[in-house]
């Protein structure tokens, strides 16, 4: 049951306060990776290392080979990452030479009708290149002409089309075509971070209280319980 929003004093206080706090959190969350201090710092395969730095410990540069900067297999889809979506990430675990360079990429395959549900990457922008099929993608941010409202910037992309998601903004992709879709996505951080709106709000442990979520979503607690049960 969806109940209409109540215009009482609590809401009048809560809404601007929530917006202000959200604005602060998101402005601090936007960041770019620091510039490296050397041409490369290939990640050492040293699981016993007790040295902690911002990234991985560097391999001895004298032992670095061309293979440290390369990987293969992106001609094949990756592992399940949601209903009808698979992901093959290329980060420092696959290319040790990516360490400290502030960039990663991924191949994403989507069955017809399947979405990558709304999520954000706190530390990176994302360039989406569609190679096969038809994807709708978009991000949401404050409407420049009315910052108390939100605006969706979305497009339908076909093979060869590119769309960019600014850092930290909530976005989604969805295969809106009749056949499989494939995209290659590049992100400008070694560790972009992932905030999945639905599962983080409804599937955290411990859980956010029904009371808070029912007020946030302006529905009764039974509706919150129903949604929560899908993320258990
Ligand atoms: C993918 O590329 C690899 C070489 O990296 C090759 O061995 C393999 O056969 C290719 N697979 C497909 C399905 O094209």
Give per-residue pLDDT as tens, 153-204.
Answer: 999 999 999 999 999 999 999 999 999 999 999 999 999 999 999 999 999 9
Residue 109 inside a domain? The answer is: yes
Measured in Å, residue 115 CA sits from the centre of ligand 1 at 27
Does the structure show a pLDDT above 70 at 138? yes
pLDDT of residue 46: 81
| Span 39-68, pLDDT tens digits | 899 998 887 877 767 778 899 999 999 999
Residue 26 inside a domain? The answer is: no
Residue 13 inside a domain? The answer is: no
Nearest to 71 by CA among 92, 50, 40: 92
Q: Are residues 182 and 219 in the same domain?
A: no
Measured in Å, residue 85 CA sits from the centre of ligand 1 at 21
Does the structure show a pLDDT above 80 at 100? yes
Q: Are residues 153 and 218 in the same domain?
A: no
Minimal-distance CA residue to ligand 1 atom 6? 73
Minimal-distance CA residue to ligand 1 atom 14? 75
Cis peptide before 206 (omega within 30 of 0): yes
Residue from 73, 78, 131 to probe ligand 1 pocket by mutation (most atoms less than 8 Å from CB)? 73
Residues near 21 by beta carbon (within 8 Å), at least 6 away in sequence: none
Mean pLDDT for 116-140 is 97
User: What pTM value is reported for the model?
Assistant: 0.81
Residue 22 inside a domain? The answer is: no
Q: Are residues 124 and 146 in the same domain?
A: yes
> Do residues 165 and 175 touch, judged by C-beta distance below 8 A?
no
Residue 74 pLDDT level (bands cut at 50, 70, 90):
very high
pLDDT of residue 26: 47
Residue 115 inside a domain? The answer is: yes
Q: Are residues 143 and 182 in the same domain?
A: yes
- Residue bearing the bigger pLDDT, 53 or 80: 80
Q: Are residues 218 and 168 in the same domain?
A: no
Q: What is the CA radius of gyration of the chain?
A: 21
Residue 51 inside a domain? The answer is: no
Residue 128 inside a domain? The answer is: yes
pLDDT of residue 31: 67
pLDDT of residue 107: 98
Q: Are residues 175 and 212 in the same domain?
A: no
Mean pLDDT for 7-16 is 50
Domain that holds residue 111: 74-92+102-193
Q: Which residues line ligand 1 (CB under 6 A)?
A: 72-73, 75-76
Residue from 70, 74, 75 to probe ligand 1 pocket by mutation (most atoms less than 8 Å from CB)? 75
When divided into structural domains, the chain yields a total of 2
Residue from 71, 76, 95, 109 to probe ligand 1 pocket by mutation (most atoms less than 8 Å from CB)? 76
Q: Are residues 185 and 213 in the same domain?
A: no
Residue 136 inside a domain? The answer is: yes
Q: Are residues 218 and 159 in the same domain?
A: no
Q: With the CA atoms of 85, 88, 92 and 96 taken in that order, what torsion angle do they form, in degrees rounded to the nearest 10?
A: 180
Residue 23 pLDDT level (bands cut at 50, 70, 90):
very low
Q: Mean pLDDT over all residues of the chain?
A: 88
DSSP one-letter string for 161-178: -EEEEPTT-EEEEEE-SS
Q: Are residues 137 and 210 in the same domain?
A: no
Task: List the CATH number of the domain containing 154.
Answer: 2.60.120.10
Q: Are residues 80 and 119 in the same domain?
A: yes
Minimal-distance CA residue to ligand 1 atom 7? 73
Mean pLDDT for 128-146 is 97
> Do residues 187 and 105 touch, judged by C-beta distance below 8 A?
yes
């Amino acid at each position: 049951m969806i109940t209409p929003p109540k215009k009482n004093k609590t809401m009048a206080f809560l809404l601007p306060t929530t917006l202000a706090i959200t604005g602060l959190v998101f402005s601090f969350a936007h960041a770019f990776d620091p510039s490296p201090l050397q041409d490369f710092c290939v990640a050492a395969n040293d699981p016993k290392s007790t040295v902690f730095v911002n990234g991985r410990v560097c391999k001895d540069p004298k032992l670095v080979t061309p293979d440290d900067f390369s990987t293969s297999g992106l001609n094949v889809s990756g592992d399940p990452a949601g209903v009808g979506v698979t992901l093959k990430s290329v980060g420092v675990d696959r290319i040790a030479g990516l360490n400290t360079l502030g960039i990663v990429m991924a191949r994403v395959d989507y069955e017809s009708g399947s979405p990558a549900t709304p999520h954000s990457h706190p530390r990176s922008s994302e360039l989406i290149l569609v190679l096969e099929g038809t994807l709708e993608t978009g991000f949401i941010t404050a409407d420049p002409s009315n910052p108390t409202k939100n605006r969706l910037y979305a497009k339908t992309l076909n093979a060869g089309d590119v769309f960019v998601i600014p850092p930290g903004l909530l976005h989604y992709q969805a295969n809106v075509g009749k056949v499989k879709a494939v995209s290659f996505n590049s992100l400008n951080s070694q560790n972009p971070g992932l905030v999945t709106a639905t599962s983080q709000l409804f599937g955290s442990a411990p859980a956010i209280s029904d009371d808070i979520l029912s007020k946030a979503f302006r529905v009764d607690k039974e509706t919150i319980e129903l949604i929560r049960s899908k993320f258990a």
